[in-house]
């Protein structure tokens, strides 16, 4: 059980933000031997037959044991061990999705994901499309997506996030998490530190474009990242407390996305940079990097941009805004065609939706000038880039693009063009008007 998370389970909240929020997750267990509680829950919920989904490694690490526990409890179990693709990776792509569809007997009632983020994405999607609930058994505290709804899939070589389902129950076994590779633990922290810049980006949208904002979701997201930074030594040493706090942080962040029904609280410009790098690596058929490792590095870069805003006075900002030339829609479309290749039309549609959504840049510039005090307050709330880098360093996570093998040309291209990944206001969109 987790005090931080349990209060939210199964709840419907009439929120001050004007929305009704629902949390469909029914149980979250984060403790040593959480694996031992899966069978009990399966029986209690009245399921008789499940499909356990893992990859080669996670099947050995946890799948074999869980299968035994379920079978001992007279639950019928079928197994799907997702195979690597031609790149030697387990990816959430067509091959994996079809494999899971073929491996799942029609009589199976539940899918159980035993693995990290990618494996969950495959299961979350197939579970949703075959109307089966899914349970989450994370084998590494590497990403905040376990509790959320979106399934980022690679379809015909391009990544698209498809709305799917959140898990019915989550069983995070601390002993199992502590055995995860160091890089995955560091990636989990990287994904969490990104909340500092994603929350700032959301606040910019609220202040400058009157975007819908949920205090509750934002507050929980901040609480989530602070749970992690308050226990860095414990996380670095993989103690039970460290793994508990990191996992609580990741799940709480997922839950805040679940509340508002989108990833705005947890994903801003730092994620857009990460997605851009991922897209280029995919096109060049290079090996994928851990999501949270990219996000951590990109967070330091975005924090540098927030830091640069702090020294600009209101008078300077007004002058710069008056002199700046906002790019036209045509110029942006041209840039997108240059940067996004075969994906360009999709990206243009994202940036210029038919139902409006186009911002009048002159009005926006006037708004920025008049709300400069708010912009600076938002920038001041973002931790210094040096602080973020130090936190990442504490868990041996990468802090600079070269440590990831992301070359300077790609960094430069992403700083210019990653803002088009999503039609969301971020510090990158602010800076090009300044």
Residues found near Zn ion in the complex (CB under 5 A)? 15, 17, 191, 214, 216
Classify residue 375 by burial, with Cβ atoms within 10 Å: 0-12, 13-18, 19+: buried
Q: How far is the CB of 295 from Zn ion (least distance, A)?
A: 5
| The two structure tokens encoding residue 38 | 């899966």
Specify which residues 53 forms β-bridges with: 80, 113
CB-based contacts of 367: which residues, under 8 Å, 6+ apart?
208, 209
Q: Among 109, 108, 115, 128, which residue's Cα sits nearest to residue 84?
A: 115
Residue 342: how many CA atoms within 13 Å on its side-chain side?
A: 9
| The two structure tokens encoding residue 210 | 């009157």
Phi, psi dihedral angles at 310 (to 5 degrees): -65, -30
| The two structure tokens encoding residue 101 | 């569809």
| The two structure tokens encoding residue 415 | 């700083």
Q: How far is the CB of 274 from Zn ion (least distance, A)?
A: 7
How many other C-beta atoms lie within 10 A of the C-beta of residue 355?
5
The structure tokens 């990741």 sit at: 250
Decide: helix, strand or coil at residue 401: helix
Question: Between 22 and 240, whose beta carbon lies closer to Zn ion?
Answer: 22
Quick one: how far is CA 169 from the chain centroid?
19
DSSP result, 178-246: HTS-HHHHHHHHHHHHHHHHHHHHHHHHHHHH-----HHHHHHHHHHHHHHHTTHHHHHTT-HHHHHHH
Quick one: how far is CA 44 from the chain centroid?
31
Q: With contact defined as beta carbons under 8 Å apart, do 191 and 397 qualify?
A: no
State the DSSP H helix or E strand holding residue 159, giving kind and residue range, or none if neither: strand 158-163
- Residues recorded for the chain: 434
**Whole-angstrom Cα distance, residue 350 to residue 95?**
27
Q: How far is the CB of 191 from Zn ion (least distance, A)?
A: 4
């Amino acid at each position: 059980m987790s005090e931080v998370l349990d209060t939210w389970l199964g709840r419907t909240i009439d929120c001050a933000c004007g929305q009704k929020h629902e949390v469909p997750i029914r149980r979250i267990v984060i403790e040593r031997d959480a694996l031992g509680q899966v069978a009990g829950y399966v029986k209690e919920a009245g399921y008789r037959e499940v499909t356990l989904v893992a990859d080669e490694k996670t099947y050995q690490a946890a799948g074999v044991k869980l299968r035994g526990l379920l079978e001992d409890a007279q639950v019928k179990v079928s197994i799907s061990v997702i195979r690597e693709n031609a790149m030697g990776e387990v990816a959430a792509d067509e091959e994996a999705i079809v494999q899971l569809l073929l491996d799942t007997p029609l009589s199976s009632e539940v899918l159980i994901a035993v693995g990290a983020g990618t494996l969950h994405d495959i299961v979350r999607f197939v579970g949703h499309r075959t109307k089966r609930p899914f349970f989450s058994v994370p084998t590494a505290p590497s990403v905040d997506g376990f509790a959320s709804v979106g399934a980022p899939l690679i379809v015909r070589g391009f990544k698209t996030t498809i709305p799917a389902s959140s898990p019915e129950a989550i069983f995070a076994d601390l002993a199992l998490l502590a055995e995860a590779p160091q890089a995955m633990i560091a990636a989990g922290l990287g994904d969490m530190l990104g909340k500092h810049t994603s929350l700032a980006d959301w606040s910019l949208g609220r202040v400058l474009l009157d975007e819908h904002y949920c205090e509750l979701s934002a507050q929980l997201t901040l609480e989530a990242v602070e749970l992690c930074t308050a226990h860095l030594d414990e996380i670095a040493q993989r103690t039970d407390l460290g793994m508990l706090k990191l996992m609580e942080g990741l799940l709480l962040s997922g839950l805040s996305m679940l509340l508002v029904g989108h990833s705005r609280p947890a994903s801003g410009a730092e994620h857009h940079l990460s997605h851009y790098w991922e897209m280029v690596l995919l096109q060049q058929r290079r090996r994928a990097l851990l999501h949270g490792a990219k996000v951590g590095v990109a967070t330091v870069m975005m924090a540098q941009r927030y830091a640069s805003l702090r020294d600009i006075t209101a008078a300077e900002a007004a002058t710069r805004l008056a002199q700046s030339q906002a790019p036209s829609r045509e110029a942006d479309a041209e840039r997108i065609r240059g940067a996004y290749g075969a994906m360009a039309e999709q990206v243009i549609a994202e940036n210029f939706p038919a139902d409006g959504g186009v911002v009048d840049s002159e009005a926006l510039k006037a708004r920025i000038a008049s709300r400069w005090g708010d912009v600076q307050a938002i920038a001041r709330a973002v931790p210094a880039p040096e602080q973020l880098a130090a936190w990442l360093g504490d868990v041996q996570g990468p802090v600079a693009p070269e440590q990831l093998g992301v070359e300077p040309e790609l960094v430069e291209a992403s700083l210019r063009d990653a803002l088009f990944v999503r039609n969301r206001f971020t510090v990158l969109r602010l800076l090009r008007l300044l």
